[in-house]
Amino acid sequence: MESKSSILDCNRFNAEDELSLPPEDLELVRRRTKVLGSSYRLFYRRPLNLIKGKDEYVWNVQGEKYLDMYNNIPSVGHCNQAVIEAVNEQMKKINTHTRYLHENIIRYSENLLALMPAEIDRVMYMCSGSEANDLALRICMEYTGGTGVLISQEAYHGNTFLVSSISPSIGGEQKLLESSRLIPTPDFYRSGKSDSEFTEWYCKKIQEAFDSMKACGIKPACFIADSIFSSDGVHPEPRGFLKAAVEVVHKNGALFIADEVQPGFCRTGDSFWGFLRHGIIPDLVTMGKPMANGIPCSGLAGKHEILESFSAKFPYFNTFAGNPVSMAAAQAVLDFIQQENLLEHTKTVGAELLKSLREIQGRHPMSVGDVRGAGLFIGFELVKDAEKKTPDQKLTIDLIDGLYKRKILSSNAGPYGNVLKIRPPLVFKSEDIDWFASAVDETLTELGR
């Protein structure tokens, strides 16, 4: 099985690929290299210079139209008109911060909390999912007095010093928090277990991790998880297994943080939040990416008594967070979701897409190991051998390349980089399925698989 570091380096531009670029892109790439820090990576061996977007489509500078099967930030569609107008209207009035009263943050908070279980009754705002998870972790540590954090084996929770240390998927030389413990990826596909056996196994792993902590004198603080397990390779099933796990977490005196940056805002089609699919009431909920359709905005909702344990000891102010313009954008997203009934749409069109991809699996049974998903978050897992379920990262990269040639944006995920991550804007339509499904089918055939 391929190592993690090789995954990081696939599906990206490298300097030696320069000559394949059109002259206008080559010039931009060269200018870019001269000014941006070396951490920056471009998607694709031939990077895309996107200059126009509408709904689930984007166009490059050469005028070619692409179907976006990857980007979850513009969840109500690239260039959503309602969001553009809301931002423009608010920018013309005023943009300040949370130390002045403003209707926008209050109204949005009321609307957002109305979508949460009653126990989750307060919300705070940040600028990024990283900031939300950073604060959530600190709050859990403060409330419990513990430092022990359970994380999924391939989790990604952000880029600050603290949350990088609970993000094993970063790889490289990233060190993990000493008081953290890893829970195995919930790989139901490879488990060979029934739903109940799987849930039991997962709960046992959680308990073992707490036991290991306690043996080292570490007091438990929390389990943080993205309930769709995005960077672990997309694992929605068996539905409800996380509920049992969270019960174990609570029994051990720890809290559960639902990291909704990926599954939140209707993505899974089953419910507004990913945690609701599993029937969980979290202690804290963090959210980000699709929240304001690309205007930087993130949030942390939670039970008031937990937030108070932190606020009693520490002031917290976040300059840009919760400003009237970001809140106007977030409100427009929420309104659009509700007016267009995007939850129902995501469920319906997601099920159609899943069905279509399972038909493709039927035509390529040795190479497509598993197709799983919830709503418009689907994992399409590629293997060398369907019996042994050996991950095939190379095939995945070749498939992404083939899709790119057929004008489709996609990417991969999972511990072995062999899961095609399918996560289009939620305005993705039934009519788009054929473009995508044919491209997948044709590429696999072309690759002799």
Of 39-98, binders to its own copies (CB under 8 A) are 39-43, 47-53, 58, 71, 73-74, 78-79, 83-84, 87-88, 91-98
Q: Which is nearer to its own copies, 219 or 389 (CB)?
A: 219
Contact predicate 301/322, CB 8 Å: no
b/e per residue, 183-217, with b = 16+ CB within 10 A? bebbbbbeeeeeeeebbeebbebbeebbeebeeee
Closest distance between its own copies and the C-beta of residue 151, in Å? 15
* Residue ranges in 381-420 that form contacts with its own copies under rule CB under 8 A: none
**Which residue from 2, 10, 18, 113 is in contact with its own copies, where contact means CB under 8 A?**
113
- Residue 13: alpha-carbon gap to chain centroid: 23
* Residue ranges in 362-381 that form contacts with its own copies under rule CB under 8 A: none
Q: Which is nearer to its own copies, 75 or 367 (CB)?
A: 75
**Which residue from 67, 69, 76, 137 is in contact with its own copies, where contact means CB under 8 A?**
137
Q: Which is nearer to its own copies, 241 or 310 (CB)?
A: 310
* Residue ranges in 244-303 that form contacts with its own copies under rule CB under 8 A: 288-289, 293-297, 300, 302
| Size of residue set near its own copies by CB under 8 A | 102
* DSSP notation for 119-177: T--EEEEESSHHHHHHHHHHHHHHHHS--EEEEETT----SSHHHHTT-GGG-TTPPPP
**Which residue from 203, 248, 325, 343 is in contact with its own copies, where contact means CB under 8 A?**
325
* DSSP notation for 338-359: HHTTHHHHHHHHHHHHHHHHHH
Q: Is 217 in the site for its own copies (CB under 8 A)?
A: no
Tokens representing residue 43 in the block: 């998607």
Contact predicate 103/253, CB 8 Å: no
Closest distance between its own copies and the C-beta of residue 298, in Å? 9
Closest distance between its own copies and the C-beta of residue 294, in Å? 4
Q: Which is nearer to its own copies, 96 or 445 (CB)?
A: 96
- C-alpha torsion sign, points 34, 36, 405, 189: positive
Identify which range of 143-151, 201-209, 235-243, 318-326 contacts its own copies by CB under 8 A.
Answer: 318-326
Instruction: Quote the CA–CA distance of 446 and 437 in Å, as a whole number.
Output: 14
**Which residue from 10, 28, 351, 433 is in contact with its own copies, where contact means CB under 8 A?**
28
**Which residue from 45, 67, 130, 152 is in contact with its own copies, where contact means CB under 8 A?**
130
Residue 271 DSSP SS3:
coil
Token look-up 């979701």 returns 337
Token look-up 């069109």 returns 349
Instruction: Quote the CA–CA distance of 385 and 370 in Å, as a whole number.
Output: 12
Closest distance between its own copies and the C-beta of residue 321, in Å? 8
Instruction: Quote the CA–CA distance of 422 and 68 in Å, as a whole number.
Output: 9
Q: What is the biggest distance separating any 2 CA atoms in the chain, rounded to whole angstroms?
A: 63
Contact predicate 161/185, CB 8 Å: no
Q: Which is nearer to its own copies, 307 or 371 (CB)?
A: 307
* Residue ranges in 153-212 that form contacts with its own copies under rule CB under 8 A: 159-162, 164, 170-174
Closest distance between its own copies and the C-beta of residue 292, in Å? 9
Q: Which is nearer to its own copies, 215 or 312 (CB)?
A: 312
Instruction: Quote the CA–CA distance of 120 and 235 in Å, as a whole number.
Output: 25
Among candidate residues 94, 95, 164, 93, the one with its CA nearest the CA of residue 128: 164
**Which residue from 317, 339, 387, 431 is in contact with its own copies, where contact means CB under 8 A?**
317
Q: Which is nearer to its own copies, 160 or 207 (CB)?
A: 160
